[in-house]
Chain A
Amino acid sequence: MVSRLDRWADPPLLVLASLADEPKHGYAITRDVAETMGVRLSPGTLYAVIARLESQGLIEPLAASDRRRPYQITRAGAAVLAQESARMSAVASLARSRLSGRPGLAGM
Chain B
Amino acid sequence: MTHRARAAVRAVLALYPPAWRERYGDEVCALVEDSGSGRAILLGLAWRAAPVWISPPRQLHDRDARMRASLATVLVAWSALTGVGLVFVQLTQLQGFATPAHPVVGWSYTIFDAALASSAAVAAGGGLPLWLQMLRQARREHQHRAVGCLLLAFAAPAAFLLAAAVALRVVHHPEGAGPWWFASFAGLGFVAVGVAVAGQVAALRTLRPSGPAVRRAVGAAGIAAMTIVLAGAASVVAATGLCLWARDFAGYHQAGILEAYLILVSAAAATAAVSAARGVRATSCRGAPGRPESGA
Contacts and interface: CB of A to CB of B under 8 A. Distances in A.
A44 B177 CA distance: 60
Interface in A54-100: 54-55, 64, 66-69
Contacts of A18: none
B19 to A, nearest CB: 11
Contacts of A47: 24, 27-28, 31, 48
Interface in A16-51: 25-27, 30, 42-48, 50-51
B41 interface: yes
B48 A44 contact: yes
B140 interface: no
A67 B48 CA distance: 21
Contacts of A55: 57-59
Q: Looking at B20, B24, B46, B51, which has the most chain A CB atoms within 10 Å of its CB? A: B24
B34 interface: yes
Nearest to B24: A47
B52 A48 contact: yes
Contact of A67 (B30, B51, B59): B30
Contacts of A27: 30-31, 34-35
A79 B218 CA distance: 41
B154 to A, nearest CB: 43
Interface of A: 25-27, 30, 42-48, 50-52, 54-55, 64, 66-69
Given A51-B57, A64-B26, 8 more contacts: A25-B31, A30-B31, A42-B45, A47-B31, A51-B24, A55-B57, A55-B59, A67-B29
Closest 3 CB pairs of A and B: A44-B48, A27-B34, A26-B31
23 contacts: A26-B30, A26-B31, A27-B35, A30-B35, A42-B40, A43-B35, A43-B41, A44-B44, A44-B45, A47-B27, A47-B31, A47-B48, A48-B51, A48-B52, A51-B52, A51-B60, A55-B57, A55-B59, A64-B26, A64-B27, A67-B30, A68-B27, A68-B30
